[in-house]
Amino acid sequence: MEMNASYTSFVAVGDSFTEGMSDGLPDGSYRGWADLLAARLAAREPGFRYANLAVRGKLIGQIAGEQAPVAAGMGADLVTLVGGLNDALRPKVDMGRVRAHLEESVALLAPSCRQLVLMRSPGRNGPVMDRFRPRMEELFGIIEELADRHGALVVDLYGAPALADPRMWDVDRLHLTAEGHRRVAEAVWQTLGLPPEEDWRTALAPTTAPGWAVRRSQDLSFARRHLLPWIGRRLTGRSSGDGRPPKRPELLPHDASAADRLS
């Protein structure tokens, strides 16, 4: 890996994590780690171009079929691919098919760019996530294997206790807060060999845990507003991203001043 390298273009591929949920902006759109990273890269390189093809709810087969070929055709310097976790969190999943779609995507993307970046996604501490941990770790093993085979970089977010802290997660317990996304952007930045600005692994300051009654109220609100609708979509085969276009479908110049607006 070239240290302190310059990148002239960046394409982000994936699902809600890369789309930027739940790092909300005043206009109702989402920012997220990929936008933050693009802004920082644009500040270093005049004429920098950026596309974000990620759409919430996408499974790895959809990413492989709909996003990876488009991203490969753009010929960007840098491509990030994060996918497969939506599959692993479903009640039933064929991990062999997940592996095949990841292999297809990586084999297509790696030769199309100067640097492909994969991730071991973060996981929130808690009993629901604990149920799916074996699948997540199987997925991350596949990702490590493919990275070794194709010369991709891997950002290990799963191994960072700070990102497992429930305070880094939105009330839906599935998506990072603005602070979580900011730390992910820094983690990718450092993995690319660029000068660090902070230690993104630093733990949040200790705080007093809420009492039993508050926790139960939070659990009930979570179940009503987020868990039950999520289960309903799984049972009916629907997705939160159905019919939704990518947030930035073309590889276009990215305003360098966005680095100030998004920091």
Task: Identify the pLDDT of residue 148.
Answer: 98
Rounded mean pLDDT, 187-204? 96
Task: Identify which of 20-29, 58-67, 84-93, 233-242 has the greatest average pLDDT.
Answer: 58-67
Q: What span, in angstroms and rounded, lies between the C-alpha atoms of 176 and 166?
A: 9
| Distance, CA of 63 to CA of 66 (rounded, Å) | 5
Average pLDDT on 83-100 reads: 93
- pLDDT tens-digit series, residues 114-154: 999 999 999 887 766 678 889 999 999 999 999 999 999 99
